[in-house]
Chains A and B, each alone.
Chain A
Amino acid sequence: MNFLLSPEQLEFQTTVQRFLDDLCPATRLHELFDRGEHDPALWHAMCELGLAGIALPEAHGGAGMEMIDLALVAETLGSRAAPGPFLGHALAGLAIAWGGSDAQKARWLPALASGEKLASVALAEEGGWQPEQWGLSGKGGTLSGCKRHVPFAADADLLVVGLADGGLALVERGAEGLSVEVENGVDRTRAMATVGFSATPAERLEGACREVVERLRDAALVLLAADAFGGAARCVEMAVDYAKIREQFGQPIGRFQAVKHQLANMAVEIEPARGLYWYAAHAFDHVPADAARYAALAKAHLADRFLQVARDTVEVHGGIGYTWECDVQIYLKRAMFDFAWMGNPQEQRRRIHL
C-alpha cells in the first residue's frame, strides 16, 4: 500500500512549479491574460521542459509516463493559472497514440512530443460534449459542419476531430474549407475558437473506435479535475495569505472567527479531494473497472469545488477581489472553464451508474 507520489514525481512537480514562478509570475500572467492569445515563447519553454510529450510513447519521442504524471503537471499548471495549450495538445497526442496507425503515429507523435507542432482537440458541438451527441460526419474523407470551444484552434497545426460514428479524424492547418473563428472566451488563459469545416479533407485515425473516444473523454475529465484541484488549492492559499495581512479593526481579519471558519471550511472542501483526483488518474491506467466512473466523479466534484472556492476567495479579498488587477479573477475564470468544458458536473453525474 503506497498511495503516495514517488520522490521523482514530487521533484518533477516542484520543477514545473519553479519554472512557472520564474517564467510566468503575476505580472506576466496578467499581461498574457489581457492579451488572451497563444504565447509561443511560454509554450516553447514548457515544451523544452518536456511537458508536451509526458504520456506519449517513448518509441515516438514521448516520456512514456502515466496519466497520474500528466495529471500532476495539469495540477501544477492549474495552481499557477498557467496560460497555454497544454490540455488540448496533450489530449490530441493521446488520441493519436491510442487510435493512430503506425504511419500516423510516426508522422505526428515525435513532432507533438517535442512541441515542434501544436495540436488540439475539436469535440463539442451545438448538440453537446459527449461522443453520443456528436453529429459531424466523416464519410467520404471530408468533413462538413462545426465544432465549438476548440482550445487554441487558431494556432494549432493539427486538430483531432470527433465524429458522429464514434471515430476520430485529423485535420491539418490550412486545409481546404477550414475556418476558425476566435471566441470571446471568459478564461483568457485558454483561448478557444469555433471551427467550421466545409468539405474539408480529413484523415481518419485508423484505430479510433468508440473505446478510444471514451478513453479520450475520460482523460480530459481527469486532466480537468487535476487542473481544478491545483487552482482550488491555490485559491485557499491566496485567501489565507490575504487574511493574515489584511487588517481591519486593528487586527488581521484572519483572527476574526467568522473569517477563520470560512477559511477552514474552504480548506476542508478542497484538501481531501486531492485523493479523489489521484485515484481517478491512478484508476485510468490501473483499475479499468473504476476508470470511467472516477473520471466523471472527480471532474464533477472538483469542478464544483473549484468554482465555489474561487467565489469564496473573491469574497475574502473584499473590494480588491472584485478587480481585474487581482489574481483571483483569473482563477475564477479558470474555474468557469474547468466547470463547463467537456460537460458540467450535473452532466457528468447523469452519466454515472448508481
Chain B
Amino acid sequence: MADTVIIETADLRKHYDGVEAVRGLSLQVPAGSIYGFLGKNGAGKTTTIKLLLGMARPTSGRAHVFGLAADEDRASVDIRRRTGFVSDDKDLYDYMTVAEMIRFTAAFFPRWRADLEQRYLRAFALPLDRKIKALSRGMRTKLALLLALCRGAELLILDEPTAGLDPAMTEEVLQALVAHVAAEEMTVFFSSHQIAEVDQIADRVAIIDRGRAVLTGSLDDLRESYRRIQLVFDGDAPEPAFRAPGVVRVRRKGRVLTVLSSAGAERILDEARALNPVSVDVVPVTLKEIFLETVTVED
C-alpha cells in the first residue's frame, strides 16, 4: 500500500490561449497520504486538477491516476468513477433540495455508502428540505463534501475545500476529512492556499508556483531538515561562500547573517564557526516560511 502511487504526473504542461498555466509539473502522490497541493491563487492548481480528471487535455507531458492515462477518454471515465471530486465552485443543482441532490447523485454510484450518508447528514446538520440555492456557503461545501465522501471512492480530489469558510466551519470540514481517511484507507489530494490547514492535516506537500512544483516531500522531512541559522558578528557580517549543501538563501544585514538551510544546520555551523561569530542561533523553520521563501513574490 505504502509504495503504490495513486497520482503521477511527469513534465505536465497546459497552455491556454498563450498562457502557460502548468509548466512542467511532476508529482507523485502515494496511496494513503493526505497530500496538500499548496500554491497562491493562479499558481495552476485548478488547471492541474482538471488535467488529472480528464476535464482538460495536457499540451504535453502525462498524468496518470490509478495508473490510468488521464487524457484517454475511456480511462478518464474510470478515473472519475473511482474519485470523489469537490470543485472550487462546489457545483450543485440549485433547483434541487438537499435530499433530492443526494438521491440524484447516489443513483450514479453503485458503491454508494448509505451508512456514511446518514453519519455525515447528522455531523454536518444539513437541512434535507432546503433548496440548494438557499444554502449558505458553508452548507454548500458540506453537501459537496458529503456527496464526494459517500460514493465509495478510493481517491478524493478537493479543489480549495475550505475557501470562504469561517475558522469553525473549516475545522469541521478538516475533521470530517481526517476521520474519513482514518476509517476508509483512502488517498486525499487537496489544493489550498491556506498554509495552516496543509500544516495541520497533510503528511505530504507540493508547493506549486507559476505552474511548477518548487518543492515536494513529506512534511515531517521538511520540518526536520529546514533550519534558519542566525549569526551575529562584532563588526559587519562577512560575505561567506558556504560550501555546505542545502543553503537556500543567505541574507546579510549589518552585523547579522541569516542562512536558510534545507539540509540541517551542522555543516553550515562547521563553516560558520571559522568566521568567529559572537552568537549563533538555530531555529526550526515553519511551512509558512518555507512557502514564502520558495514562491515568487509579486512585483
A and B held together in a complex = no
Q: Which residues of B contact A (CB under 8 A)?
A: none
Q: Which residues of A contact B (CB under 8 A)?
A: none
